[in-house]
Amino acid sequence: TFAELYEYQLETGVRTVLGTALLIGIVGGVPFSILLRHISPKLVLGKVKGLHAPPIEVEDVFGSLADQIGVPMAQLQLSRNTIPISFAVQTDKPLVVMSESLFSLLKKDEIEAVMAHELAHIKNSDIALKALVTAYRTALPHDPIVRLVEAAYHREREMVADETAARATKKPLSLASALLKIYEAFPKSSLSAYGTLSILGAGSTLMSRHPSIRQRINLLIRLAESYH
């Protein structure tokens, strides 16, 4: 089943490497990861155009989902980017950013699914953990195994966020359809520049930080089937 598959993944090499990253963090990576957590939001938000508060009805939907998932302090901001982007970042409070273009591209239940995916990253402490793993990779920049494992760790967290979102909304197929629509609408020439700001990510190789769209949709379909 879907859950058994991810339980197996979590028990394999990714956990081992995360443990090693924690050890390196104790020695010297923690100060760097703390610095990275302060710098990264500014770098990421620097690519965002025209951040502003969402309409009250959108904010209400987001607030309900945030309460349901268990991150009531999370805030939502919209951007004027024409590219369909969405991501979570840690500022003074957990922040989810979504482009206005998503709201013309997706249906209401698909928007909620994307919101839930980003909130899942906050709930699962992915932002802090990814910073620590990045610090581990920075400590060993020329080790190809480290790069492979870092990418695998990021892909695994994306899949867990998909599962968390699907279970929270009880609509895994809404997330699947949202992913497909975003994939079809996202300019492929912009993936390298804006992939880190997208729910899709860039590429589908061993070095990619996001799983392939096919893999994610197939697993969401399996999860939907498990509800019946």
Residue 40 placed within a domain: yes
Query: How many other C-beta atoms can be found within 10 angstroms of the C-beta atom of residue 169?
Result: 19
Domain housing 18: 2-46+108-226
Residue 86 placed within a domain: no
Whether this prediction's pTM lies above 0.85 is answered by no
The total number of structural domains that make up the chain: 1
Q: Please state which of the ranges 33-47, 151-165, 195-209 shows the lowest mean pLDDT.
A: 33-47
Above 60 in pLDDT, residue 18?
Answer: no
Above 70 in pLDDT, residue 178?
Answer: yes
In the structure encoding, which two tokens stand for residue 201, read together? Answer: 């990510």
pLDDT of residue 147: 72
Q: What angle do CA 171, 175, 178 make, to 5 degrees?
A: 135
Residue 59 placed within a domain: no
Average pLDDT for 68-96:
93
pLDDT-derived band at 8, boundaries 50, 70, 90: very low
pLDDT of residue 216: 93
Average pLDDT for 157-174:
95
Residue 204 placed within a domain: yes
Residue 89 placed within a domain: no
Contacts for 128 with CB less than 8 Å, ≥ 6 apart: 33, 37, 90
Q: Among all chains, which residue has been given the structure tokens 């990576």?
A: 29
Sequence-ordered alpha helix ranges (H) in the chain: 2-10, 13-24, 30-45, 56-69, 101-105, 108-123, 126-139, 144-169, 172-185, 191-194, 213-226
Residue 65 placed within a domain: no
Residue 199 placed within a domain: yes
Strand partners, 90: 94
Above 60 in pLDDT, residue 15?
Answer: no
C-alpha distances in angstroms, 218 versus 101, 139, 150, 180, 225? Answer: 26, 36, 23, 11, 11
Average pLDDT of every residue of the chain: 80
Residue 71 placed within a domain: no
User: Helix 144-169 crosses helix 126-139 at what angle (to 10 degrees)?
Assistant: 170
Backbone angles phi, psi at 183, to 5 degrees: -60, -45
